A = this chain, B = another copy of it.
Amino acid sequence: MLNPLLKLTKRTEYGLIALLHLVDREGEIVSVREVGDRYPVPRRLLAETLKDLGRAGIVESQRGAGGGYWLARPAEAITLGEIVAALEGAPSLTSCQDLGAARTDGECDVQEVCPIRSPLTRLRQGIWALLEGTTLRSLANTSLHPTALFSSAQAVVAPLGPAGQGEDPAA
């Protein structure tokens, strides 16, 4: 059994495949059929996924014969984080906190004494920053390198403490 920590759901996988295809056909209208013919993916799920992306404003669509999907924005203005959020919802690393949302019902069952909440929250933000710093364009163009990726992630996690101080990285 392999770790789901970094797992993407099939929906997101299929969504990425579709989106990358849309990047390839930027400026044109692409039907679900076309994408489904190209990749051995359940056509129906692909359709569901594109509907979700449409509702999220990442793609636009036109119904009827000759209809299909296209990117709502240029590929460099669409981030991986946005895509994942659209297809899987907002991120949460531990189950005991959703940044104030849905606090009405169950609440964190580890409550006040939960010692992992704070540090993991920061880590989650760092990871999320990585996703936000990766654009659909950079995914499409493998030769491009997500350099800005780290500067943004660093900006999020760095405030943890003063840089290059006591801790020994060589340990």
Contacts and interface: CB of A to CB of B under 8 A. Distances in A.
Interface of A: 1-10, 12-13, 16-17, 20-21, 38-41, 76-77, 80, 84-85, 88-96, 98, 101, 109-111, 113-116, 118-120, 123-124, 126-128, 130-131, 134-135, 138-140, 142-151, 153-154, 157-158, 160-171
A140 to B, nearest CB: 8
Nearest to A154: B150
A163 B147 contact: yes
User: Which of A124, A131, A160, A168 lies at the interface centre, i.e. has the most chain B CB atoms within 10 A of its CB?
Assistant: A160
A3 to B, nearest CB: 4
27 contacts: A1-B88, A2-B88, A2-B89, A2-B91, A2-B101, A3-B85, A3-B89, A5-B12, A13-B110, A16-B115, A17-B115, A38-B113, A39-B110, A40-B110, A118-B142, A119-B138, A119-B142, A126-B149, A127-B127, A127-B130, A138-B167, A144-B160, A145-B158, A145-B162, A145-B165, A148-B170, A150-B154
